[in-house]
Structure 1
């Protein structure tokens, strides 16, 4: 066999091996992309099961690659969700209504858990929710915070006009105003409610005590269509993380919680997390209540139904 023929055979074999390797890499990369999700969230307790799933290797166990982008505020999260390659976000039912109303095709794929606590300042002298009439309450307008406040008041037989709502979008500012009695009342999520309680704020009521559940995870419809099986795995991983949280003392993971949420170190030992539930689609009654509230507040100019807000994942 001539040297030229040997060289030709060698080159042909080398080309074949390169093609096979490139195809193999492409298939592997495609597989990775298929199992990949990017989620936007804020440092709040509803994200803890996802943080634990990442930290304890639960996502990896289910063959998932989940990138979590943390935003300082819901506004920053929403802007990124609508303009970037984020697949889904941890948000709430009011936010999903507003997304849909703006023509942003998003649907809920599961519930999450995060409470909202109605607090009175230490200096106010208010000890009971029956004493809130006529007082100022700091909220963020046209959000899940205002929705939760209205529902809490209603369930206690108090009219929404019996309190003076003060718009304070920034949660840290809301906390500071409560601490200095610049407002007598505030509705706060974790971790800010725990910080306020540690400094003497009085707990009057909460969303959870009144069976008000509003936190959800939602994805773009295009992502749901393309990656339904991946989102299903995400839900399964979430449920396993919830099981871990229930079965293990907080001391085993509170350092991760403190680091993620930004609790001050002196909160160690006094952190209270929600009684996390397994994720599922929210009930129609909760969705209907949210839609009706948003309509009453003139936040919607489109007709939205319960089925517009949720996606069945097969």
Structure 2
């Protein structure tokens, strides 16, 4: 009897050690799986996003201030950039996962292969809210689009500024041969030269364009009449879309939640608009928050028009397929 008891206790002890070893193996396996690319939601979701100091980025700051990224389980690091060139260099080097940009810039990135994917429209022109305006200098006698035939217009070449300028003017009746442009890439310098009369006309983004008008510049045409040409987009690298899809979805859900706040209670964010949107002093009391789109994407027609323009300008050898760049799989539901 004694021997049977000893054997039973020994067997029980061995089984306990065996179970504990198995438990340790399972725990280690779970921890290892969480660290792998296909791991579950336990692993940290982290994104680095490059943003210009412009009005279009307001939803990011609202989402950050209100903890929406944290709610979605994604850590988002803002990488502030001073200009598009710096932003694009960071993306090219793999230093950021996503950025706010435009369709012309995306086309240039994807010239050889699909490096960037558009997941949403960040801001677009509407009949009540302009994004870009073609203006004449305060002392100029220019008043109509027809007056601009042969007149040099300060722009940033091979960018959305040039695309919108050409599309607005040709839609209003000018031929491409009548449109003359001058490269002034820095927006503040372009503004200063316009207001000083050093250039007779210039294309500027809002709200700076509204400040120029308040300071005496003359509105020739803007994209409220042709809103299909103007939008900015959220774009993420191919590696981020493939390797961190849940993080990208979480980012977009937080962004859209912030959009809801901005659209439903714009007065609550008046100070943020002035601070982050860089609203000029002379229009701070009158400039209105634009409506931000939610669950919106560039249409195939909008993309194809940008492609046609880029091919005509020699920026692309061929039009890039819409479906390879614009992803509907991340659209808000």
TM-score by length of 2: 0.80
Say if 2:136 is the partner of 1:126: no
Q: Which residue of 2 aligns with 1:39?
A: 49
Q: Give the 3-state SS of the residue equivalent to 2:291 in structure 1.
A: coil
Distance 2:221 2:289 in 1: 16
Q: Which residue of 2 aligns with 1:55?
A: 65
Single out whichever of 28-37 and 58-67 deviates more from structure 2. 28-37
Q: Which residue of 2 aligns with 1:90?
A: 100
Say if 2:139 is the partner of 1:139: no
Change in 2 beyond 3 A, CA 1:160/1:34: farther
Unaligned runs of at least 5 residues, structure 1? 1-12
Say if 2:223 is the partner of 1:223: no
How far residue 257 of structure 1 moved from its aligned partner, in angstroms, is 2.6
How far residue 307 of structure 1 moved from its aligned partner, in angstroms, is 1.7
Say if 2:329 is the partner of 1:296: no
Aligned residues between the structures: 297
User: Which of residues 215, 230, 233 is equivalent to 1:199?
Assistant: 215
Say if 2:269 is the partner of 1:281: no
Give the ranges of 4+ consecutive aligned residues of structure 1 lying more than 4 Å apart after TM superposition. 23-34, 264-267
Q: Is the 8 A contact 1:133 1:162 kept in 2?
A: yes
Single out whichever of 265-274 and 139-148 deviates more from structure 2. 265-274
Q: Is the 8 A contact 2:166 2:179 kept in 1?
A: no
How far residue 25 of structure 1 moved from its aligned partner, in angstroms, is 11
Q: Is the 8 A contact 1:232 1:313 kept in 2?
A: no
Distance 1:277 1:262 in 2: 20
RMSD of aligned Cα (Å): 2.8
Unaligned runs of at least 5 residues, structure 2? 1-19, 125-130
Q: Is the 8 A contact 2:132 2:230 kept in 1?
A: no
Q: Which residue of 1 aligns with 2:249?
A: 232
Single out whichever of 99-108 and 86-95 deviates more from structure 2. 99-108
How far residue 215 of structure 1 moved from its aligned partner, in angstroms, is 1.1
